[in-house]
Amino acid sequence: MTATFVLDGTRIRTLEDFWREIGEAVNGPGGYFGKNLDALIDCLRGGFGTPEDDDYVMEWRDHAVSRERLGHAETARQLEIRLSHCHPTNRPAVAAELAAARAGQGDTVFDWLVRIFEQQVPGVLRLS
């Protein structure tokens, strides 16, 4: 039987909210599901609450609300955080991404998340 995990897009305003929402959707109240993009990749592959055979669906309800909230402003905020912690050799690339986000250009946090789902567990994410 296919497991279905539901994300409530109206509860997601920031990337930190997404981590909380997916953790609770998969592992119940207060559930943990990683708090960075690399951890998300690991968790989606199974064994951290999701079936290891990819026999599950992640239904992101009201995704359009999340798409707007996880847009360029949130992307710039996340890139500012990344810039403050990244290795010096990565600073120019992150700074360029940050400048693009501030100009309303480039991929957004929402795009990052959807791409990870599509690349790691194709067909699992359902946007509604």
> What residue spans define the domains of the chain?
1-67+108-128, 72-107
Q: Each residue of 48-95: pLDDT tens digit?
A: 788 877 789 999 999 999 999 999 999 999 999 999 999 999 999 999
C-alpha span between 128 and 7 (Å, rounded): 10
Identify the band that residue 44 occupies on the pLDDT scale cut at 50, 70 and 90.
Answer: confident
Stated length of the chain: 128
| C-beta of residue 35 within 8 angstroms of C-beta of residue 19 | yes
Highest mean pLDDT among 26-30, 42-46, 50-54, 109-113: 109-113
126: left (phi over 0), alpha (psi -120 to 50) or beta: beta
CATH architecture of the domain covering 1-67+108-128: 2-Layer Sandwich (3.30)
- Chain CA centroid to CA 28, Å: 18
CA distances from 31 to 24, 39, 95, 109 (A): 5, 14, 33, 22
Q: Each residue of 86-121: pLDDT tens digit?
A: 999 999 999 999 999 999 999 999 999 999 999 999
pLDDT at residue 54, as a whole number: 72
